[in-house]
């Protein structure tokens, strides 16, 4: 019997060793992440195959709408780790009926303490359902009086978890701190210096490949984005969402959670080109497509009298039209744009896009001029002033009105589809004639304004530009209160050639697509 057992064991060992590498690769690629990591310890052959598997670009995402926070986290984590992956970062979005602190603890407990993790409460989520693999869109309703609307509270649950491994890149997490005492200033220069130092130490360049930003709902991101756009080279991608509550963990982050002097106003996931990688890793690239949901209307105005109201974070202003002397109040400006646009004006969201010329510097560096456009929501107008949200407008700044409505939103979705189709066509052209080492898209994160859904008759319309072009590729995202995408005004139509070069990084009623592609390095390179 003992000889038979030894014989059987020998036959099994021979059978396993006889499996060719292609079949073994197929088998191991179907293992969950933890089982795959354990299998790497079996022998050298398995280790080589699994190391190859874990070196591939991977973005894994899953959504759960389970009303139990524990079960929702378990479902999402189990799904994203159901195949081999070595996560280098994680982003989790949870519903407002869940405890942010508890959700963050559960997720970090599952994924460990060694990777940067951002957990936030967003306006909604969309992605692949962990239970049935169906694409799901969930937009939450934020109710001030929960007791008066218990049904909405019960519906405001869900978890979206996205983890990623991007070959050739290191991910570092750096917070934007705000002083809680004194003038409560945002420490923007320190954020820039920390990102520069971290990037220089990893890549030899002061500019990262990309920065993914998440900000607190009370943080004014306009001055932050002004300096980030100024400080880093134009090739650095900057995207993200504003208006969220968040928690984070990361190796590069200094923990100020117990420091009463500071609070975290925003957090930056910085993607850095890692020069310490061995040769042959390949290159991960980011492609940004912006679908702005507003259209320009009316003439150009110039601000005359400007009164800032920091207490309620608003500005009162009068203006005049170019080449005219008479100052105009809010009602007069409304009448002028009403004459052009018509009766739907009061059924749409109205903003002014203000062109600003400002000096900018980091620390004691020599200041330079920057030219930018920032949007301010129109609150109301009367016979004295036009009232807008936000501060930072000066006398002499020019502005135009922008309108968000169904037509502008639908047109922007179509334009985004055309741009993503063009990207796909360019990739196909680059890959023509290549049997191996092809450039491919492996994932996309999307940030969409929570107000755009009001203009669509059917759900998930903003998802179609990517899904139609890259079916089966990982795709997920969140609804947000403000969308961050570094760029200029050229994607806003119509816009004059003179204004198209103005920098614009914070958008409203827009959708941002962050598309990720990978180019393997050929042996001859």
- pLDDT tens for 407-425 read 888 888 999 999 999 999 9
CB neighbour list of residue 411: distance below 8 Å, 6 or more residues apart: 295, 493
* Of 325, 123, 103, 321, residue with least CA distance to 214: 123
Question: Mean pLDDT, to the nearest integer, of 217-231?
Answer: 94
Q: What is the rounded distance in angstroms from the CA atom of residue 424 to the CA atom of residue 441?
A: 9
Q: What is the pLDDT of residue 79?
A: 96
Q: What is the pLDDT of residue 180?
A: 74
Q: What is the pLDDT of residue 261?
A: 77
Is residue 253 within 8 A of residue 218, CB to CB? The reply is no
Using the predicted structure, report yes or no on whether residue 319 has a pLDDT greater than 70: yes
What are the Cα distances from residue 485, in Å, to 72, 184, 446, 482? 30, 26, 11, 10
Q: Sign of torsion, CA 70 71 73 77?
A: positive
Q: What is the pLDDT of residue 42?
A: 81
Q: What is the pLDDT of residue 149?
A: 46
* Bridging pattern class, strands 124-128 and 474-480: antiparallel
Q: What is the pLDDT of residue 105?
A: 97
pLDDT in tens, 109-157: 999 989 999 999 999 999 999 999 999 989 887 655 444 444 444 578 9
Question: Mean pLDDT, to the nearest integer, of 211-238?
Answer: 95
Other C-beta atoms lying within 10 Å of the C-beta of residue 18: 8
Percent of the chain whose pLDDT exceeds 90: 62
E runs forming strands in 310-397: 314-321, 349-360, 368-381, 386-389
Least confident of 223-237, 272-286, 494-508: 494-508
Question: Mean pLDDT, to the nearest integer, of 352-374?
Answer: 95
Question: Mean pLDDT, to the nearest integer, of 62-72?
Answer: 96
Q: What is the pLDDT of residue 252?
A: 46
Instruction: DSSP for 410-423, please give it.
Output: HHHHHHHHHHHHHH
Using the predicted structure, report yes or no on whether residue 332 has a pLDDT greater than 60: yes
Using the predicted structure, report yes or no on whether residue 9 has a pLDDT greater than 80: no
- Average pLDDT over the chain reads 87
Q: What is the pLDDT of residue 16?
A: 60
Reported pTM: 0.91
Is residue 104 within 8 A of residue 93, CB to CB? The reply is no
């Amino acid at each position: 019997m003992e000889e038979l057992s030894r014989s059987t064991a020998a036959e099994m060992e021979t059978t396993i060793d006889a499996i060719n590498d292609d079949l073994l690769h197929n088998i191991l690629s179907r293992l969950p992440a933890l089982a795959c990591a354990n299998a790497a310890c079996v022998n050298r052959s398995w280790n080589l195959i699994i190391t190859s598997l874990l070196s591939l670009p991977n973005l894994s995402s899953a959504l759960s709408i389970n009303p139990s926070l524990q079960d929702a986290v378990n479902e999402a984590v189990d799904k994203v780790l159901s195949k081999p992956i070595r996560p280098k970062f994680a982003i989790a979005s949870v519903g407002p009926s869940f405890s942010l602190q508890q959700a963050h603890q559960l997720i970090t407990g599952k994924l460990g303490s060694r990777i940067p993790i951002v957990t936030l409460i967003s306006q909604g989520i969309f992605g692949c359902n962990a239970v049935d693999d169906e694409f799901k869109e969930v937009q939450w309703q934020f109710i001030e009086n929960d007791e008066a609307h218990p049904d909405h509270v019960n519906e405001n649950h869900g978890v979206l978890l996205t983890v990623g491994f991007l070959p050739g890149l290191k991910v570092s997490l750096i917070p934007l701190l705000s002083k809680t005492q004194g003038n409560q200033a945002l420490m923007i220069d320190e954020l820039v210096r920390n990102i520069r130092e971290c990037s220089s130490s990893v890549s030899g360049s002061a500019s990262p490949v990309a920065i993914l930003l998440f900000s607190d709902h009370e943080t004014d991101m306009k001055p932050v984005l002004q300096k980030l756009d100024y400080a880093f080279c134009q090739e650095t991608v900057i995207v993200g969402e504003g208006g969220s509550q968040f928690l984070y963990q990361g190796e590069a982050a200094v923990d100020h959670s117990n420091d009463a002097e500071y609070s975290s106003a925003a957090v930056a996931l910085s993607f850095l080109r890692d020069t310490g990688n061995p040769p042959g890793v390949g290159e991960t690239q980011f492609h940004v497509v912006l679908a702005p949901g507003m259209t320009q209307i009316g003439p150009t105005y110039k601000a005359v009298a400007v009164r800032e109201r920091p207490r309620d974070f608003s500005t009162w202003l009068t203006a005049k039209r170019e080449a005219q002397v008479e100052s105009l109040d809010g009602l007069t400006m409304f009448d002028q744009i009403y004459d052009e646009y018509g009766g739907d004006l009061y059924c749409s969201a109205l903003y002014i896009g203000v062109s600003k010329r400002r000096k900018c510097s980091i620390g004691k560096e020599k200041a330079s001029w920057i030219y930018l456009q920032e949007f301010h929501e129109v609150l109301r107008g009367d016979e004295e002033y036009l009232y807008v949200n936000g501060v930072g407008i000066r006398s002499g700044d020019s502005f135009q009105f922008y309108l968000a409505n169904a037509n502008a939103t639908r047109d922007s979705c179509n334009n985004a589809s055309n741009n993503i189709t063009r990207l796909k066509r360019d990739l196909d052209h680059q890959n023509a004639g290549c049997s191996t080492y092809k450039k491919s898209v492996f994932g996309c994160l999307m940030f969409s304004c929570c107000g755009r859904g009001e203009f669509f008759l059917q759900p998930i319309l903003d998802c179609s530009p990517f899904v139609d072009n890259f079916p089966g590729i990982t795709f997920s995202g969140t609804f947000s209160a403000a969308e961050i995408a570094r760029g200029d005004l050229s994607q806003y139509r119509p816009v004059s050639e003179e204004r198209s070069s103005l920098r614009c990084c914070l958008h409203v009623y827009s959708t941002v697509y962050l598309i990720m592609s990978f180019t393997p390095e050929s042996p001859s390179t």
